[in-house]
A and B are shown apart, each in its own frame.
Chain A
Amino acid sequence: MSRIYLITWHLPNNIKNTFHNVRHRTLQKVSLCTSSSSSSDDDTKLQKKVEEKKKSKEALDKLNKLLLTMTEDDVSSKTKLNLAQPTNKRQKKLREKQDFKESKATPTETLVNAANNVAESIGGDVKQTQSELLMKLLNVANGDATVNTNLKDLVKGMKIDQESAQGAGLSKAQQVRQILQEQSKAPRRKGDMAKPRSKSAKSPKRDVVVEKISLFGSEPLGIFSPNQNDLTEGVVNKTWNHLYDKDLKLAVTHPPSNYFQQMILWTEQKKIWKFPIDNEQGLEEEKKVYFTDHVFLEKHLEPWCPLKGPIRHFMELVCVGLSKNPYLTVEAKKEHVLWFREYFKDKLELLQETGAIQETDLGKLHADQKQSEH
């Protein structure tokens, strides 16, 4: 990991301010009360003191409540991230422009809009009725009916005609193509007319009428009763369910389409460190051990080590060395020390000969030996 993130969490500003305010207010009230008490009678003084005590108590209660709410359980995390989304100013502008444009409608456009409104108010297939109305309206202007049947085949068919009947001049195919060109280059609203025509032409058998089917409206099967609260799903196959959930997750895991997704994948596969980065990831076991256990190792010397002499000296150095070692666990350090105990026990004769160990100390070692034998 190239970067280390420092995440500090602090009380948000408004909470700090409210704290200050509450404290300020209580102090103020107290100060006001104390200042006024000196100038009033004793009875009223007592009453006021009681009142002020009550008020300060209330203020303190409020403070305590605040602190309590802060230490309560956190909100259960939702899987969905609620992020602030910026407003799309460009789209808004575009929409305003479009509205403005639409307000300046030409007569034909008003016709189309009117037809649309009529079709919508009638209901049923909006596009179909709209196109029929428009056809009726606009055909009056055009005169001859526009091509109604399957356009593509007609044009294709005419192409074949052209090849067999040569030198026909500006053939029908080209005429039709010109008409089509005009239509395709015409503004998009006329494209609506092309759609229902081609739809009906494409599948002449199927006159699609959208009839609304109520998805949940029919009579239920009547096998299960709606009251399901006291029922369970039976015995739980833990491994099976776990495998099924894994499969579900894999079904939506696609090759990552940007670097962030790749990092997410790697984090889940435990190949990279988790955010927020802290150096002690993976050292959960160590967190449970308090630091004094690492540093104060003399307690392991107590039962067996003589209090003076070269052995003690040596063992104290060993303890100092181990206490400075950050790489061993507490158990490992304890084992080191105890290994030395066994070692010295084995070499007891040699130690006695050289005089490194005194009789008094010997007693201690033996005592410990006896203890350990028990």
Chain B
Amino acid sequence: MMNISKTLLRRGLPQANITSNILLSTATIDDKIEIPKRIPRGPTDILRALESTVGRDPTAAHYKYHDDPYLIPLSSSGKRIFAMAQEAGRKAAHWVRQEHADLFQHREADPVIEAFVPPMVYTEESEVAVADLEKLIEMRQVVDSAVVYRVLKEKNVEVAQELEQGLLELLCYQNCEDGVSEEFVEERWFRQASKGKEFVKKTWKDGDLAEQIFTKMTPKTPESYCAIIQGMSKYRQMDRAVQLFEEAQKSNIPLNTNTYNSLIQSVNMIKENFDMRWSLLADFLTQMKNSNLKPNLGTLNAILYALSFMGNPKRAKEYVLQTLAEFKNLGIEPSLGSWYYVILTFCKERGPVSTILHDIINHLEDKEHQIRDLKDTHFFVTAMEMARHHLNDVALARRIDKLLNYGDNYNLIGDSYKESVYFRHYFALLCDNLPLEEFMNDVYFKLVPHIYVPEVGIMAEVLNQVDVNGAVEYIPKLWSDLIVFDQSHRENLVDCILNTMVNNEQLVTPELTESFAKIAWDIYSRSINEEEGRVHRLNLTGDLLGKILILLVRQKDFEKACKVMDRLDKNQQTIAGVPKIEALALFVDLCIEEKVPSRGIDCIQYCTDCGFPEANSLAVRLHKELNLDEVFLERLTKVVGDVFSTS
């Protein structure tokens, strides 16, 4: 309509025609007018919208690091230290505020920012009210709420049943101890969760406040039974949990789905062999059904978790598929955690190869996933692990990576440990299977060092591949990476890099020869200069020194080569092994070129000391090329014996 009016204006038609045209067009539009509903926006929606326009820049360090080239960490330990140092600063600030709470009483902001107010300290003598207990339960302060509760009980203040129930649930959930505060994000990120999948040991605190409240509670409500059983199952106190469960069954107290879920999860701790575990599990499910309880995602995940290490892999697999079908009929969509357990069950290390991962990825592809269960964060790591070890499939790994980077799915990577393991598997798989150039350009240079820092093993594989492919142009970059990642003292890596440099002589350009010589000298000087203090020190063997010698000689750097030779010669007792004869031969050739026969003679002396039979031919050559005079000839004869009689 507006367009029509504009075009008409441009044509310069009189006003009346325009209006009549507009009226005509309005007469033809539909009578039904659809006004779109107003979309209510939350307080952070605009920020999220802006955030969606910013992606991850792989060439920049993570946002949390200070944006100064000197202060950007490039090794994995460096990253951890820098981030934790920042967090330590925050903790120090918290401590100062706690210590000197009297200095922080000003309330400059209006409305008052609760997070900046010093936290209340609750002791035995504090004046507390029921409202305080409510607030503390809401804020998830376990220890403080326990103190406040005790004080209230001592003063015989009436605490409502609901509030007591809330307190009981809090204590059961947290096992009567405080967790890591929500403020400390870095600590959570770097917390290396222990991999105790199978039998987590019992950590429930017997006889602590939770149990006390439960026993004193009269009458025992269904909620309290549910809470205590769930708490005990979570912290693996199975005997008491089952006991309480049977008590509840006898007294006909209705429980809820989540309680049954927690019991199902611990089935493997209660019984010993597959048949008994499965029958107990089926028992729980039938009891749940008889109590008219609706199963939920937690039920599905509990069953799958129990099946993943129940024993008897073949039958477990059957049951897994049956469970999936069952819950599909109930309309419950499996979460990523469920698929994690499925992968665990099917792709066992010592079992037949299963390609279920393909089907799972087909099912999950191109969709954004939300976190619905705490175990969802394990999915991507395990999927990549299976793609590498179990299936060795690059296309599948690529698909998993694409899924990870789709929308907000990257949040499901879990913590830093899982992220590094994920990339470790991804790297290793691609390194082994892709042509080297593609691997280096698409994967290595993109992800290293800001997104992922390879471990020693992975660097070793990359160096191997470079060696096999003879792609010596990558060596200087890889060596500088080794220094940055603080891996330059690893003997296997240094060995590999030196081998690559030495063995590919015909592939190098003059610039590369020069850089190789520099690298060799760098290796040498590092091992010399880091004598005191450093924990990690590289001990150069004779072989390695020989390789360094070769590289220096190729660059015709006589001075440095002499230094290395001296070191070899003088430290014969401390250096393990001897260099190859080619190294020494090359050095002698260089001496001939430089016309320094004394050095040559010293080298030949060293050869004879090491017991090389080629020493004689070397001596002959030296004499022939340089036409030694009396003094030198005499020295040489002393070393090798009389081999010059024929010449």
Contact = CB atoms under 8 A, between A and B. Distances in A.
Interface stretch (B106-114, B563-571, B637-645): B106-114
B392 A202 contact: yes
Given A202-B392, A213-B359, A247-B374, A235 B43 contact: no
Contact of A21 (B26, B186, B323, B358): B26
B226 A208 contact: no
Interface in B490-510: 503-504, 506
Given A174-B506, A234-B257, A281 B363 contact: no
Given A237-B227, A257-B56, A258-B63, A275 B295 contact: no
Contacts of B173: 239-240, 243-244
Given A234-B226, A269-B115, A221 B185 contact: no
A184 B470 CA distance: 10
Contact of B326 (A80, A223, A235): A223
Interface in B279-304: 282, 285-286, 289, 291-296
Contact of A198 (B83, B323, B432): B432
Interface stretch (A151-159, A301-309, A363-371): A151-159
A220 B325 contact: yes
A10 B510 CA distance: 72
A44 to B, nearest CB: 24
A253 B45 CA distance: 17
B119 interface: no
Contacts of B291: 234
A165 interface: no
A255 B33 contact: no
Contacts of B363: 215
B252 interface: no
Interface string B423-436: 00000000011111
B172 interface: yes
Nearest to A275: B46
Q: How large is the interface on A (under 10, 10 to 19, 20 to 34, 35 or more residues)?
A: 35 or more
Interface stretch (A68-76, A328-336, A347-355): A68-76
B64 A255 contact: yes
Contacts of A276: 41
A195 interface: yes
16 contacts: A17-B1, A70-B35, A75-B38, A163-B580, A177-B470, A215-B324, A225-B289, A234-B258, A240-B230, A243-B140, A243-B169, A243-B173, A252-B411, A257-B62, A257-B63, A282-B111
A199 B392 contact: yes
A22 B323 CA distance: 60
Contacts of A66: 33, 35
A28 B23 CA distance: 10
B437 interface: yes
Contact of B170 (A215, A243, A257, A268): A243
A263 B47 contact: yes
A267 interface: yes
A152 B38 contact: no
Query: Which 9 A-B residue pairings sit nearest by Cβ, starting from the closest?
Result: A282-B111, A234-B256, A274-B43, A260-B51, A220-B326, A239-B169, A75-B37, A218-B321, A231-B294
Interface string A181-205: 1011100100100110011001100
Of A80, A188, A234, A247, most B-chain CB atoms within 10 Å: A234
B356 A213 contact: yes
Contact of A237 (B51, B256, B436): B256
A184 B435 contact: yes
